[in-house]
Chain A
Amino acid sequence: MMHRVEPKSVYFKVFAALMALTTLTVWVSYYDLGDFSIAAALAIAVTKALLVILFFMHVRHSPPLTRVAVAGGFLWLVILLVLTLSDYFSRGWLPSPSGW
């Protein structure tokens, strides 16, 4: 036995948490929280993704090399999103000389 065999109850608890968070994300979407609506939706989705990654995908008990690779993958995803969006969102913040 090389990887730890989780008790079934762990998977059922994670499933219950994912169901609860799904209900929460639907419920919260009915309220207009302004910019916090998207923040709430993303915070819930990231929490659900973390539950799946750590428990269903066994990253909680993975060797350090795998964990570093996984973390690196998401770090690069953040770079992709932040650099792209910082360009688009900051356009028009500064006046640009006409004729460019």
Chain B
Amino acid sequence: MAEQHSAALAHQFDDLAQQLDASTFGMWVFLITEIMFFGGLFAGYAVYRSAYPEAFAAGSLHLDIALGGFNTVVLIASSLTMALAVRAAQLGDNPAVVRFLLLTLLLGTTFLGVKVFEYHHKWVEHLVPGPAFHFDGPLAPQVQMMFCFYFAMTGMHALHMVVGVGLLVYFIAQARARRYSPDYYGPVEVMGLYWHFVDIVWIFLFPLLYLIGHRR
């Protein structure tokens, strides 16, 4: 087998296919721990939202659907560019990997920029849980709880985005050095898995946080 002599093959693997399967499998095992981690947050959210549905709806009215929807579009678009970057890596087209990863980076930082703007707005409106929290009406304590979930869940999500943006910078540098080839694109594939996972978390956060208060 010629590919056994490939420079990209680490010595502990039989062949390149096994090497790639092992790295994607390992990444999925890590992502499952992430699923369980975010799952705990979603379980807590479900318990408190079912206990205080009016407060969660009232708090949700203070989230901007236009900004949340814009960020949803931005993040899904970044998943598209990420998928195209992985495809380019599969073909060994390093310049295209650089282009698509730069687009992904641009969209990812756009998402985080909007998030900073939103957080700042919540701070100005005294909706950040803590001593400065203020909400008119008898539901104030429960609305504060809703915002605890909002900041914990979107904050953990944003932290994952920050990590992803850092990883993207590294992968762009690697692709610029023409490191990837049809024999060796596993790292880009694994980076893609991480990025898409973070996208999926947001796919659930958007309707559960932004879209529960304004129904007629």
Contacts and interface: CB of A to CB of B under 8 A. Distances in A.
Contacts of A22: 69, 72-73, 76, 206
A56 B35 contact: no
Interface residues of A, number: 51
A41 B77 contact: no
Interface residues of B, number: 52
A90 B73 CA distance: 38
Interface in B1-57: 16-17, 20-21, 24-25, 28-29, 31-32, 35-36, 39-40, 42-43, 46-47, 50-51
Interface string B61-84: 000010001001100110110111
A73 B31 contact: yes
Interface string B179-216: 00010000001001100110110011011100110111
Given A3-B90, A45-B203, A81 B42 contact: yes
B90 A5 contact: yes
B215 A3 contact: no
Contact of A56 (B17, B192, B206): B192
Interface of A: 1-3, 5-6, 8, 11-12, 14-15, 18-19, 22, 25-26, 29-33, 37-38, 41-42, 44-45, 48-49, 52-53, 55-58, 62-63, 65-66, 69-70, 72-74, 76-77, 80-81, 84-85, 88-89
In order of increasing CB-CB distance, the 3 nearest A-B pairs are A73-B32, A29-B211, A41-B207
22 contacts: A2-B16, A3-B20, A8-B84, A12-B80, A14-B80, A15-B77, A22-B76, A25-B206, A29-B211, A41-B207, A41-B212, A49-B204, A55-B83, A56-B196, A58-B189, A62-B24, A65-B25, A74-B35, A77-B39, A80-B40, A88-B47, A89-B50
